Amino acid sequence: MPAILGLEAWIERHPGTLQTCGADIPEILGISGPSSVDHCTRALHETISVAVRGVDLLIEEVFLERFGERPRHHGDIFIALSLIQELPPERGFIEAAVNLPLLGIGAWRVALRLAPGLALKISLIPHASQFNETEEQIWKDASPELARWLVPVIDIAHDGRWILMNEVDRIDMSVAGTGQLISCAIAAIESLDPDLCASVDLSDYNFGLSDGKVVLLDYGND
């Protein structure tokens, strides 16, 4: 069964991440001198915390702007989520709130680029961790054959609020034969785990390319 690598081990395997984050580490951690893998790990964890707080603040702000008061219960948060999903991506509201590049937004989670090659998914609803935890469990339980078709899970928060996964390349559906590749991926997943295939979104946009291989991006939402 696949293992959860962990952020620190991922950084060790991707030394370019340390170089990319190196300039920001002294400011984030308030330290001086050469940066280490441990420093980079701590800095990225702090960046995640800032992004989570940014998501929560954005939910409050969009609701406050529309209704003149802060959200007080889950129903208000659901309304705020619908307002966030209506924000034009090109205006950069979400990116400004979390201070990270936006990869995509769904019904319950937002996907951000934490570092080159590393995607951060944050639950838009505080204390709603089931989608991230489902994704983690599916990855941990997957056979090696099934894992080949899934984006790997790298790390997850103790409370499940966020999850880290490999960032993959989007598929260009205008390229000849792309649809056939996705159809082959769906057929393989269905043969290996029919229940998973029946419970996830198998639309074209939910597939990407990892090292030239077609993989399923989001398998935590049903």
Query: Three-state SS for 167?
Result: coil
pLDDT digits (tens, 9 = 90+) for 63-106: 999 999 998 888 888 898 888 888 877 678 889 999 999 998 88
Q: Which two tokens stand for residue 70?
A: 């802060």
Average pLDDT, the chain: 88
What pLDDT shows up at residue 53? 95
Q: Is the pLDDT of residue 147 over 70?
A: yes
Q: Averaging pLDDT over each range in 80-94, 103-117, 166-180, which range is the top one?
A: 103-117
Residue owning tokens 């996830």 = 200
User: CB count, 10 Å around CB of 102?
Assistant: 17
Q: Is the pLDDT of residue 40 over 90?
A: no
Q: pTM value? A: 0.91
Identity of residue 20: T
- Mean pLDDT lowest for which of 22-31, 93-102, 118-127, 187-196? 22-31
What pLDDT shows up at residue 177? 80
Mean pLDDT of 5-23: 85
What pLDDT shows up at residue 36? 84
Question: Residues 11, 110, 99, 30: is their CA dihedral positive or negative?
Answer: negative
Around 184, how many Cα atoms within 13 Å sit in the side-chain half-sphere?
A: 8
Query: Three-state SS for 208?
Result: strand
Instruction: Region of 117 please: left (phi>0), alpha (psi -120 to 50) or beta.
Output: left
What pLDDT shows up at residue 125? 84
Pairing of strands 169-170, 102-105: unpaired
What pLDDT shows up at residue 23? 66
pLDDT digits (tens, 9 = 90+) for 116-144: 999 999 998 877 789 999 999 999 999 99
